[in-house]
Amino acid sequence: MEKDSISYTELDFELIKLEVKEMHKLVIQLKENFVGSTEIIDKLEVEIRNMTLLVEKLETLDQNNVLSIRRQILALKTKLKECEASKSELVPATPPPPAPGSCSHGGVVNISAPSVVQLNWQGFSFKYGAWGRDYSPQQPERTLYWVAPLNSDGRYLEYYRLYNSLDNLLIYSHAREYRIRYGQGSGTVAYNSNLYVNWYNGRNIAKINLTTNVVTVNQPLPMAAYNNRFSYANVNWQDIDLAVDEQALWVIYATEDSTGNIVISKLNDTSLEVLNTWVTKQYKPSVSNAFMVCGVLYATRTLNTRTEEIFYYYDTNTGREGSLAIPMRKMQERIQSINYHPFDQKLYVYNDGYLLNYDLVFLQEPRQPV
């Protein structure tokens, strides 16, 4: 070392500079992942920057200064360890999900990033449609998945497929394909081994047995507007949108009497008779899509080509409605349908031909009035 004209002091300073650099990296990472006030970390960051300047000034001085700086670095490292240890205390724990099929929560409070399952089996040109998992309160764990892309005109529902597992769906294996004439729009849902669709060119709702592919009920929805009178924003032929949650089979629509505002009706899933109806103050054509959870309607709107927002809710249990601001990422520009499954507490979303799903996060305590 002496031959190369490198002194012990110079080597010590190189090690010090490395230590300070590592501390600076750590404080930046800590700041990025910290929840709550970062005031303490901001002060630490300033101290570390000051230490960098001090090292540069003292680098040419003697060994005693090296020892002094090392003592200051040790003190800073201790503070960093304390901050890192307290981070876990300040980060709120993710609330445990409610039991599958349970409504013991305060409603949707957040949503995960999307998981891309695959492109629908018909291909990229079939941008409209719906998909999901059949829900049966008697067999909640049943894994029957259905995919119902509309024809390339974005109106007719003619073919749908069933898969007994998600693995089969992922590899297009062991599919059962059926044909009907004709459903209309992307408002399809499956419940208790039946597919429910808006029947073509009218306000009727059809119930199709998923075992036999036979239409067992074809019942008009009183007063419902249809054929693009009050469809969702940027999505045609979805004036009548069927939905399932923990409580019932629902239909989301609008009427002339409601002046285009969303109407929610609970249906008898056997006869399709309307059991109860609620009229909201939310104009349906300004909404991009909607879904039901525990008797609460959640409506989305488009923020930009990559983000939707769950911005509105109406609680049929209390008659209360209000605003939300839950961003919802998407893979393509338009969302054609959203279906909720109560057992796995996921949203099944048809996004310009792609099949996505999302995990929902629920508020632990009941939502307070706004």
Q: What is the 3-state secondary structure (H, E, C) of 121-157?
A: CCCCCCCCEEEEECECCCCCCCCCEEEEECCCCCCEE
For residue 195, what are its two tokens? 């597919």
Mean pLDDT, range 221-249, rounded to an integer: 97
pLDDT for 11: 54
pLDDT for 91: 45
Contact 107, 71 (CB under 8 A): no
164-187 residue pLDDT tens: 999 999 999 999 999 999 999 999
Higher pLDDT, 347 or 4: 347
Band of the pLDDT at 5, cuts 50, 70, 90? very low
pLDDT for 51: 74
285-302 residue pLDDT tens: 999 999 999 999 999 999
Mean pLDDT, range 298-325, rounded to an integer: 97
pLDDT for 3: 45
pLDDT for 67: 60
- Pairing type for strands 289-293 and 296-304 reads antiparallel
Is it the case that residue 238 has pLDDT exceeding 80?
Answer: yes
Residue 200 neighbours by CB under 8 Å, 6+ apart? 156, 181, 182, 183, 184
Mean pLDDT, range 51-62, rounded to an integer: 65
pLDDT for 140: 92
- C-alpha dihedral over 153, 155, 158, 161, to 10 degrees? 90
Report the mean per-residue pLDDT for the chain. 88
Sign of the four-CA dihedral 198, 200, 204, 206: negative
**C-beta neighbour count of 174 within 10 angstroms:** 12
Contact 292, 275 (CB under 8 A): no
Higher pLDDT, 370 or 97: 97
Maximum mean pLDDT: which of 51-60, 80-89, 321-330:
321-330
Is it the case that residue 1 has pLDDT exceeding 50?
Answer: no
Q: What percentage of the chain reaches a pLDDT higher than 70?
A: 84
Q: What percentage of the chain reaches a pLDDT higher than 90?
A: 69
* Rounded CA separation 195/202 (Å): 18
118-148 residue pLDDT tens: 999 999 999 999 999 999 999 999 999 999 9
**pTM given for the model:** 0.75
Is it the case that residue 237 has pLDDT exceeding 80?
Answer: yes
pLDDT for 86: 61
Q: 33, exposed or middle or buried, with CB in 10 Å at 0-12, 13-18, 19+?
A: exposed
Band of the pLDDT at 2, cuts 50, 70, 90? very low
Distances (CA, A) of 310 to 44, 213, 216, 245, 246: 38, 34, 35, 17, 20
What DSSP letter does each residue of 239-253 carry, written as one string?
A: SSEEEE-SS-EEEEE
